[in-house]
Structure 1
């Protein structure tokens, strides 16, 4: 996929976590982007860990019933 903008082009929108300006390529791909690449990766890893923990807890509760 060809990118629409140079990697240095920034938009006027800012990241909700760190306040950094978002890249135009990110805005072009995701119209509702609220986090920069770096903050989004950190946010996703936190969410993935939380989901894994919930699955483990659910698995333990189903095994303890037996």
Structure 2
């Protein structure tokens, strides 16, 4: 088993939840890094150019 994925009966629920959250945050970070590398640099520069050309500002996904 991978670190953070095993629920230990010797730990209180809070520590198990913290361990699970840490594991999920690391996994999400790895997925983001992988997907960022898979994204074409040409596509990102085209989006930036289009936003700048139309006077808009570039806003990352999920931000307000």
TM-score by length of 2: 0.45
Larger Rg over CA atoms: 2
Higher helix share goes to which structure?
2
Higher strand share goes to which structure?
1
